[in-house]
Amino acid sequence: MKLYFSRNINPRVAVAVARYLQAPVELIHAAPLAPGQEERFRALNPNLRVPILVEGDHSLWETDAIACRLSQLVGSEFWRTGAALPEMIRWISWGKGNFVAACDKVHFERVTKQRYGLGPLRPEIVAEGLAEFAVAATLLEQVLSGREWLVGNDISYADFRVATVLPYAELAGLPLADYPHVSAWHSRLWQLEAWRDPFVGLEAPELPPVRG
């Protein structure tokens, strides 16, 4: 079984899941858009994006689906089942549409565009993202004031998904310190090597530096 990845945000989550679960997968760095690679990877994912999980002649793409499958493979409740499943799906859905989206809007302007020379920073988009971050982080702060993890008493994939962009919070200038319960939650995640440095020991080129 092979998991193709890059160091970008969503593949990072997939690799972190695989390493946290100690899933029996070979982790392989890939660049589907590199010269000569498109035909090969289009057969695995028509979107030409990673992560991609390959089992035999079947490929699975999209980070959440891969996290679900890896949890199935190792028999883990990291991807909740049963009565807790709707609660986890709720946080995955809310996170992607609200907290993660706000973080990513700021990260794209302040980090991604500066890494790859994609044009000037747009202050109005940063301001919009920070406003959306404040709304979402306030809700998350309230929720985490009464619990350590988002679903039940133990960590779940919902925590990884909602925290998707937070490893880059300092680079992006996200005001995480304004939300002490959110900061404490991410500090708990940061204690896990699989989350803190999912690429340790892997052959994977570093991302370009952030310019400016």
What does the pLDDT read at residue 212? 67
- Which of the four pLDDT bands, split at 50, 70 and 90, describes residue 19? very high
What does the pLDDT read at residue 211? 83
Q: How many residues does the chain have?
A: 212
Identity of the residue numbered 160: F
The CA distance from 168 to 173, in Å, is: 9
Q: From the centroid of its chain, how far is CA 3?
A: 15
Is pLDDT of 79 > 90? yes
What's the farthest any 2 CA atoms get from each other in the chain?
Answer: 51
What does the pLDDT read at residue 115? 93
pLDDT digits (tens, 9 = 90+) for 44-78: 999 999 999 999 999 999 999 999 999 999 999 99
The third-level CATH classification (topology) of the domain covering 82-195 is Glutathione S-transferase Yfyf (Class Pi); Chain A, domain 2 (1.20.1050)
Q: In the CATH scheme, what is the homologous superfamily, with its name and number, of domain 2-78? A: Glutaredoxin (3.40.30.10)
Domain limits, the chain: 2-78, 82-195
Tell me the pTM.
Answer: 0.96
